[in-house]
Amino acid sequence: MTSLLFEIALIGILGIGSQWVAWKYRLPAIVVMSITGLLAGPIFGVIDPAEDFGDLFSPVISAAVAIILFEGSLNLSFQELRGVGRPIFRISTIGAFVAWVLGSLTAHYIAGLSWAVAFVIGGLFTVTGPTVIMPLLRQAKLNPRPAKILKWEGIIVDPIGALLAVFAFEIITFLTAENPDVTQLIFFFIASVFAVLLGWACGRGLGYVFETGHIPEFLKSPAVVVVVIFCFTLADIIMHETGLLSVTAMGITLANIGIGSISDMRHFKENISVLLISTIFIMLTASLERETLLEIFSPNIICYVLLMMFAVRPLSIFLSTIKTSLTFNEKLLVGWIAPRGIVALTVSGYFAEILLDAGYEDAKILTALTFALVISTVVAHGFSIGWLAKKLNLSSEGKPGALIIGSNPFTVRLAKSLQDMNIPVIVVDSSWEHLSLARNAGVPFYHGDMLSEQTEHILDTIPYDYLLAITDDHAYNSLVCTTFTPEYGRTNVFKVSPYTYFKDGYSSGIVSKVGGRILFDKKFSLEDLLEKVEAGYVFRQTTLTQKYGLEQYLQDKDDSTVFLYLVKPSGVLKFFSEEMRTVPSAGDTIVSLTPPIKEQEKIKARLKGD
């Protein structure tokens, strides 16, 4: 028997390892984690977290779910609702109600559950949740509108679905009691309102102490974690499952009161959320029993799952979005994507116990029913979201693009060369006058400050994998790179020194560590690059072959040539830098800024020919 400490370490390794495998081989992370958990748990019996953790299992899962849901709601800024507010509201209200009714009818007539159990589980299965939606959205580069709708729905409906299940149980208890007492129903609604107010108060309180400096910077993130768990626990003690509603309200409040340190908290919470999702999914799937896995193959459960996926979900979306701005393709995508996750698994286990205690024997199949729906939707939607989005023209996935900060003669020519290679590119600058170069060249551009909150909500950055800060303000370049490193990754954020006298600054080891890798070569500043463009240097494409390889190419190049980037036959884009490890090979196209010697020789040859 392994020690509990070793099991905790193993769960962490399996969870993060699954995330890495999913990233490395472009697989749905949720699917990889589910398979890993099943292999480690019921199939090979390496771990059994539910048994080994004992009484700690449920509290650990609940606290993790609270933090994950809060982290998701921390991204719900009301400014995102521009253009999609009405569809989100209707999906979260009318859509959830329709899904509850249709899901309950399906559970009763197809799965064979009693009306009482059917309406409880029908309410619970309206949820999707950030534990499954966020990894899918990270994997599939959806267009902003469907991505926002799926994100908001997953986070808002998560507590609503749990509350619908609680509400259904309270109604059933009230209707089947020998002496019905309406006070319990009234208490349920009061507890739900209290949970929202508690979350709002905690959010406002944290915002106040943060902005007034009552909490130092190094304690802000730990304080948030503690308050989230306290907020969840207090609401949950008063009425089970209202804690989810409370932390959601808290996150939305913090996201919309405009405090300066919200972005730092968001990055910290996102890192914790990834760790928790990885470990909790392993724990839940590893805790399932083999009998449960076999039970999900019964005909009534299979039919129930298929109807939930192919009938109930699409109908609830299409009916709730009538006369909204959503296109048919957007409705089709949103109507298909509805993976269930951690909340459905944990809450169904809770209701299975209390329904069995209340005398509903059919509740014993709830665990198998829930897992069947969870694993089916996770696998089906995880593997199909990218493919379906492309088929419906709702995907931004394609060649990796570049977002260039700063409009000047060099960056516009660089953007034009990328555009000629069919690589997505956009130039961002706060000066309308500077952007005239991009406008005249026909290069996509955005007028605004990259660091402003307005740009964050308006500019679609999904198509761009690289960020290049190439302005004449060195401090601004470093600040932009530092700000966007968590989003783009440390290896995909670059900067260029504005002036030649900064070259020595790089070698000091101080400036180079402040956000962003050095683009191209540290000996070339923006000043140098602009001089070369003015001197007539050209952006030349050279494709390496088996006969004309890298060695021959380097011999032929002029010493003043600047290697800019290379594009592999697969479409992969790599920018040259001193830290670049990719070695160009046959089939790669190298783009460089080259002296116009060859062009001048061609012109002279033509003149002689004339």
Higher-confidence position of 36 and 86: 36
- In the predicted model, what is the mean pLDDT of residues 133-155? 76
How much is the average pLDDT of 42-61? 85
Cβ neighbours of 412 (radius 10 Å): 25
Which residue's structure tokens are 């921390």? 74
Distance between CA atoms of residues 393 and 407, nearest Å:
30
Whether the per-residue pLDDT at 241 is higher than 90: the answer is no
User: How many whole angstroms separate alpha carbon 403 and alpha carbon 474?
Assistant: 18
User: What pLDDT is attached to residue 537?
Assistant: 83
- pLDDT above 80: residue 139: no
Q: Which residue has the higher pLDDT, 341 or 384?
A: 384
The CA distance from 102 to 145, in Å, is 26
Q: How many CB atoms lie within 10 A of CB 438?
A: 24
Q: CA 317, CA 90: separation in Å to the nearest integer?
A: 9
pLDDT of residue 81: 62
The answer for 442, left when phi > 0, alpha when psi is -120 to 50, beta otherwise, is left
Q: Between 144-176 and 130-139, two packed helices, what is the crossing angle to 10 degrees?
A: 160
pLDDT, the chain, mean? 79
Q: What is the mean pLDDT of residues 333-362?
A: 78
- What per-residue confidence (pLDDT) applies to 59? 84
Question: Per mean pLDDT, which of 181-185, 215-219, 598-602 is the most reliable?
Answer: 215-219
Cα 219 from chain centroid (whole Å): 26
Position 129 scores a pLDDT of 65
Query: 479 and 515 in contact (C-beta within 8 Å)?
Result: yes
Task: Return the bridge partners of 594, or none.
Answer: 538
**CATH top class, domain 401-609:** alpha beta
Measured distance CA(201)–CA(195) in Å, rounded: 10
For residue 20, give the H/E element and its range.
helix 4-24
Backbone angles phi, psi at 539, to 5 degrees: -90, 105
| Cβ neighbourhood burial of 165 (10 Å; 0-12, 13-18, 19+) | buried
Q: Mind listing the pLDDT tens digit for each residue in 501-536?
A: 444 444 444 445 556 778 887 777 888 888 888 888
- Determine contact, residues 57/287, Cβ cutoff 8 Å: yes
The C-alpha R_g of the chain, in whole angstroms, comes to 28
589-594 β-sheet, strand order: 538-543, 589-594, 562-567, 573-575
CA distance 14 to 36: 7
- Record the pTM: 0.67
Give residue 220's pLDDT: 80
Spatial neighbors of 34 by CB under 8 A, at least 6 apart, are 281, 285, 375, 378, 379
Determine phi and psi for 401, rounding to 5 degrees.
-100, 180
How far, in Å, CA of 447 to CA of 129, rounded? 35
Most confident range (mean pLDDT) of 290-299, 346-355, 403-412, 493-502 is 403-412
Whether residue 72 contacts residue 130, with contact meaning beta carbons closer than 8 Å, is answered with: yes
Q: Which residues contact 122 (CB under 8 A, 6 or more apart)?
A: 99, 100, 101, 102, 103, 104, 105, 106, 107, 164, 168
Q: Rounded to an integer, what distance in angstroms lies between the CA atom of residue 343 and that of residue 66?
A: 10
Q: What's the CA gap between 211 and 298, in Å, rounded?
A: 56
C-alpha closest to that of 272 among 76, 488, 69: 69
How far, in Å, CA of 109 to CA of 114, rounded?
A: 9
What letter would DSSP give residue 445?
E
Q: Is the pLDDT of residue 388 over 70?
A: yes
- Where does 4-391 sit in CATH, by number? 1.20.1530.20
Is the model's pLDDT at 231 over the cut of 70? yes
- Token look-up 């300066």 returns 260
Structure-token pair, residue 228: 């989230």
CA atoms within 13 A on the CB side of 477: 27
Helix (H) or strand (E) holding 602: helix 597-609
pLDDT band per the 50, 70, 90 thresholds, residue 582: low
Contact 316, 133 (CB under 8 A): no
Q: What does the block give as tokens for 508? A: 């000091």
> Where do the CATH 3.40.50.720 domains begin and end in the chain?
401-609
pLDDT surpasses 90 at 201: yes
Pull the structure tokens for residue 175: 């209707």
Instruction: Specify the residue for token string 């000629």.
Output: 420
CA distance 317 to 162: 19
Residue 275's pLDDT is 80
Residue 449's pLDDT is what? 83
Residue where the block lists tokens 């298929």: 306
Q: Where along the chain do the CATH 1.20.1530.20 domains lie?
A: 4-391
Higher pLDDT, 177 or 479: 479
**Mean pLDDT across 405-424:** 86
Q: Which of 471, 599, 601 is nearest to 536 (CA)?
A: 599
Tokens, residue 581? 């490890």
Question: Roughly what angle, to the nearest 10 degrees, separates helices 262-286 and 4-24?
Answer: 110
Alpha helices in 177-241, H assignment, sequence order: 183-211, 217-238
| pLDDT value at residue 507 | 44
Number of residues that make up the chain: 610
pLDDT for residue 105: 92
Cα 174 to Cα 182: distance, rounded to the nearest angstrom: 7
User: Which neighbouring-strand residues pair with 574?
Assistant: 566
